[in-house]
Amino acid sequence: MRLISNKALGEFGLRRKAASDPLQAWRKLIECKTFGGFADLKRTFNSVEKVAEFYIFDIAGNHYRLIAAIHFNTQKLYVRGVLTHAEYDDWRP
């Protein structure tokens, strides 16, 4: 899977230092695998959820949420945002 772009992860990691290492670990795992669909994604990331057209990943023990759009046919993942758990509670797709 190709991550587009790591910039959002880096910027969030600068604001929230505790998120930096878990976000980069998540990135490495995403980039080293191929996912055929949601079922494949769920096998690797048990807590991933699908909300509307977005995929929501728990990061760092559910302290942060990563919102992504995934195109399985092209193996591209677009990071739409990284939020704290509290910010996610106010997020709407």
Q: What is the CATH number of the domain that holds 17?
A: 3.30.2310.20
Residue 6: per-residue pLDDT? 86
Quote the domain boundaries for residue 6.
2-90
Question: What whole-number distance in Å separates Cα of residue 79 and Cα of residue 3?
Answer: 8
pTM of the model: 0.93
* Count of structural domains within the chain: 1
Residue 29: per-residue pLDDT? 96
- The parts of the chain modelled with pLDDT lower than 50 are none
